[in-house]
């Protein structure tokens, strides 16, 4: 990790710059330029926006909902975000690990359980009551996933309510 410290700092710098500073700077710059170079010099627009403060309020009322809608479209309605996630996953050196949630709680325990029971079956051993309980627990989690539920301990509250996440 020590040999990557420079790259980590560079990444944090780009995130801070691109996400916060550049956004605020661009919003202020665009507002000032459009008002003082365009609106102030056009009498029709000057009647609609008599002051810079008035212009900011009206633009905020229009721009914020519009930009929230555009962000929603980006994440939910077009494949742009899915493509970004694909690129992130393909370049992520830690993808070989199982992901929290359904992989750790259902898939890999199921694989492990099946391999243990395959060995027992091969040796002509029968399943114990605890084995059957383990199978029942995994089956209930699979059924929950099939119904569209969530599995895992650290699901963000914005995704699911605590009642839906009870295992």
- What would the pLDDT profile of 97-141 be if each residue is shown by its tens digit? 677 778 888 899 999 999 999 999 999 999 889 989 999 999 998
Domain final position from 43, 70, 91: 91
The answer to whether position 155 is within a domain reads: yes
Supply the pLDDT for residue 90. 77
7 and 79 co-located in one domain? yes
70 and 126 co-located in one domain? no
* Spatial separation of the C-alpha atoms in residues 80 and 70, rounded to whole Å: 12
The answer to whether position 97 is within a domain reads: no
69 and 111 co-located in one domain? no
The answer to whether position 96 is within a domain reads: no
* Spatial separation of the C-alpha atoms in residues 139 and 126, rounded to whole Å: 19
State the total domains in the chain: 2
40 and 73 co-located in one domain? yes
Supply the pLDDT for residue 155. 61
The answer to whether position 160 is within a domain reads: yes
What would the two tokens of residue 112 be?
């492990």
Supply the pLDDT for residue 99. 72
The answer to whether position 140 is within a domain reads: yes
* Spatial separation of the C-alpha atoms in residues 34 and 63, rounded to whole Å: 14
156 and 81 co-located in one domain? no
* Spatial separation of the C-alpha atoms in residues 107 and 22, rounded to whole Å: 42
3-class SS of residue 73: helix
3-class SS of residue 59: helix
pLDDT tens for residues 66-109? 999 999 998 888 888 888 877 887 788 777 767 777 888 889 99
59 and 123 co-located in one domain? no
Supply the pLDDT for residue 3. 75
pLDDT tens for residues 145-166? 888 888 877 665 555 555 555 5
122 and 142 co-located in one domain? yes
Supply the pLDDT for residue 9. 93
The domain in which residue 160 lies consists of: 102-165
């Amino acid at each position: 990790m020590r040999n990557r410290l420079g790259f980590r700092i560079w990444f944090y710098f780009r995130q801070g710059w691109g996400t916060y500073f550049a956004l605020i700077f661009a919003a202020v710059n665009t507002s000032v330029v459009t008002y003082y170079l365009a609106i102030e010099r056009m009498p029709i627009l000057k009647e609609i926006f008599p002051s810079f403060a008035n212009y900011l309020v009206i633009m905020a009322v229009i721009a914020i909902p519009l930009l929230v809608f555009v962000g929603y479209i980006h994440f939910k309605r077009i494949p742009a975000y899915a493509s970004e996630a694909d690129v992130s996953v393909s370049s992520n050196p830690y993808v070989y690990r199982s992901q929290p949630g359904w992989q750790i709680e259902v898939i890999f325990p199921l694989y492990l359980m099946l391999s243990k029971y395959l060995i027992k079956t091969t040796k002509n051993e029968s399943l114990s009551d605890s084995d059957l309980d383990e199978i029942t627990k995994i089956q209930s989690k699979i059924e929950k996933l099939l119904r569209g539920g969530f599995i895992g301990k650290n699901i963000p509250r914005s995704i699911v309510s605590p009642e839906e996440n009870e295992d």
